[in-house]
């Protein structure tokens, strides 16, 4: 299809074509950059399109005129996260997409910024799988980059819970237990009834308090027995005397 044929048949603008690699079953869509003076039946394609179509130099392709719908939505996926980190990626994307007249779902395009080249996958297009992007306003979504790795959050949460339980167990074993010793009176004698709070006590403390209570009771019983054997003091129990003048 040459320029004369397009003019004679009044092919609608913008010029857009569906291009097929019949041997590989691949197809895409493209526009026209210029008409040169080369022989008829020869087309020049960018490297990235030849890669998408799995074409080599001098391979045969089939082309036909295609009227594409105006695009309203595009979802793209960068190959690397570096594209998102560049200053104002939206402006870079808009500037580069002006060089394209159409996009096809499943294609991979190249976007240049400075000395870097970024590969971008066309994940989804609406309203069709191939759309025209000439003089349109459409919504663009970004899918996570191919090299993006999401951290396994449940592993860190489970690990944190395990550490917390171990810490609580160690704290419970080593925490201070108030008023668990043997009680004594001001005269240094042991008290027979020693009150120990039951809240927060562990088994070892309960056993120790039980033994101390038994010792306390035996000591008090022994002291009471010795006290009973001693003669009790009786007031005014001596002989009486009378004072005479």
Residue-level pLDDT at 13: 80
Q: What is the pLDDT of residues 124-178, one digit of tens each?
A: 999 999 999 988 888 889 899 998 776 434 333 333 333 444 545 555 555 556 6
- Strand, coil or helix: 113: strand
Residue-level pLDDT at 35: 79
Residue-level pLDDT at 189: 57
Contacts of 196 (CB under 8 A, 6+ apart): 179, 180, 205, 209
- Kindly list the structural domains of the chain, giving each domain's residue range(s) and its CATH number in brackets, ordered by start: 3-65 (no CATH), 69-142 (3.10.330.10), 176-224 (no CATH)
Lowest-pLDDT range of 18-22, 63-67, 173-177 = 173-177
Residue-level pLDDT at 239: 64
CB-based burial, 37-75: b 16+ in 10 Å, e otherwise: eeeeeeeebeeebbebbebeeeeebeeeeeebeebeebb
Q: What is the pLDDT of residues 92-115, one digit of tens each?
A: 888 898 889 999 999 999 998 988
């Amino acid at each position: 299809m040459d320029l004369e044929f397009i003019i004679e048949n009044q092919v609608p603008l913008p010029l857009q074509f569906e291009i097929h690699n019949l041997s590989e079953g691949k197809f895409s869509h493209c526009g026209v950059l210029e008409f040169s003076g080369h022989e008829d039946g020869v087309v020049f394609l960018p490297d990235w399109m030849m890669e998408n179509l799995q074409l080599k130099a001098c391979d045969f392709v089939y082309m036909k005129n295609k009227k594409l719908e105006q695009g309203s939505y595009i979802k793209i996926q960068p190959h690397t996260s570096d594209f998102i980190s560049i200053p104002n990626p939206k402006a870079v994307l808009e500037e580069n997409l002006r060089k394209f007249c159409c996009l096809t779902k499943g294609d991979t395009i190249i976007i240049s910024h400075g000395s870097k080249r970024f590969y971008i996958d066309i994940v989804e297009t609406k309203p069709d799988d191939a759309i025209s992007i000439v003089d349109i306003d459409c919504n663009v979504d970004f899918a996570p980059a191919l090299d993006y790795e999401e951290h396994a959050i449940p592993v860190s949460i489970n690990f944190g819970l395990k550490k917390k339980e171990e810490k609580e167990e160690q704290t419970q074993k080593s925490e201070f237990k108030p008023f668990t010793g043997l009680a004594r009176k001001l005269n240094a004698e042991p008290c027979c009834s020693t009150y120990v709070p039951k809240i927060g006590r562990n088994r070892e403390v309960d056993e120790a308090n039980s033994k101390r209570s038994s010792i306390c009771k035996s000591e008090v019983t022994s002291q009471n027995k010795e006290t009973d054997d001693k003669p009790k003091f009786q007031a005014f129990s001596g002989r009486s005397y009378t004072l005479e003048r």
